Structure 1
């Protein structure tokens, strides 16, 4: 979140400034063709029955640690409540289809939060801010490639 969209509260806490959110678009929500296309896309790109199927060495504990970290980042940044679940959906979909080295999991989780924030937030998280949460083990160029 950019500094111009933050404000200071009591005891130096920073809070998200009030932002207007867009309402539903009747051209999309009122058109049955849109729902059919979304449903068809979901069938094609849905989660594998077992998340992490492409990973033979991904332990449930490892995924839990990653998602807990993602949740903490979303909480600290006061993300919209839809950002974290969307990021986890992206993560599970990716892990279900692609093998990722364990040392790259945090980068994948960071990219998932970045994309979910872009999709769900009026003022999305910046790549630079997310890199700080990785203790700079991921660079902005890593996220944007």
Structure 2
């Protein structure tokens, strides 16, 4: 697969390969499977990825894979305990909730900037029902006035 990007799932698999078979096997897989000529940069990216937790003293990746089978199954206490609804509010949910507010703020700032720009050239007189346009300053600043 030439020119493909190595995603985080692949990096986890490569980290497990590194832990079990070593650096040479890792480099061979990166060269052959992902068509990367210089696997050193991929290995460097893997070491810097926080999710893989590279331990330089042990020369191993401490991936977040399950350590034993007991972690997979629920205990009898967990199965028999009454269901208590919990509201989990993660950081990702907070970011998603704040996105519309951030977009609204951005739109307000852009509209404000445009209004300030227009205010340099246009004056609206509500009493006399007139709009005054400073055509000289407008053309000096590179704008063209079009009326229709």
After TM superposition, the score normalised by the length of structure 2 is: 0.20
Q: Which has the higher helix share?
A: 1
More contact order relative to length (CA 8 Å, sep ≥ 6): 1
**TM-score, length basis structure 1:** 0.20
